[in-house]
A = this chain, B = another copy of it.
Amino acid sequence: MKRLDLIFSERELDAIIKTLEKANVPGYTVMKHATGRGPERVVTEDMEFTGLGSNAHVIVFCEQELIDKMRDNIRDDLSYYGGVAYISEATPL
C-alpha cells in the first residue's frame, strides 16, 4: 500500500479531487490552511482573507497502480499553480 502526499494551492482543490475520484481512490483526506514555500512561491496566512488561497494538504492511501493511473493528471494539475506530490510506503494497521 502507498501513501500519496499532495500539497498545492487550495484553489486547485476541486480539480485534484476530481482527478482522485476519476481514478476511484478508496478515499482521501484534505487538510486546509497550510502555508509554506516552494521553489517559486511563498504562501502566507494573509492569502486566506485576500482570496488568493493558502495551501491544501491531501493524503491518499491507495495501491501503487492507482497512483500510476493518476500520475499524469496530477502532474498536470500541479503544473498550473505549482505544488508537490510524494509517494511513500504505508501498511494498513
**Min C-beta distance of A32 to chain B, whole Å:** 7
**Min C-beta distance of A64 to chain B, whole Å:** 11
Smallest CB gap from A55: residue in B? B29
| Contact, CB under 8 Å: A38 / B30 | no
The interface residues of chain B lying within 8 Å CB-to-CB of A7 are 29, 59
Max count, chain B CB within 10 A of own CB: residue among A1, A29, A59: A29
> Chain A: interface secondary structure?
strand
| Contact, CB under 8 Å: A36 / B30 | yes
The interface residues of chain B lying within 8 Å CB-to-CB of A5 are 3, 59, 90
**Min C-beta distance of A25 to chain B, whole Å:** 9
| Contact, CB under 8 Å: A74 / B57 | no
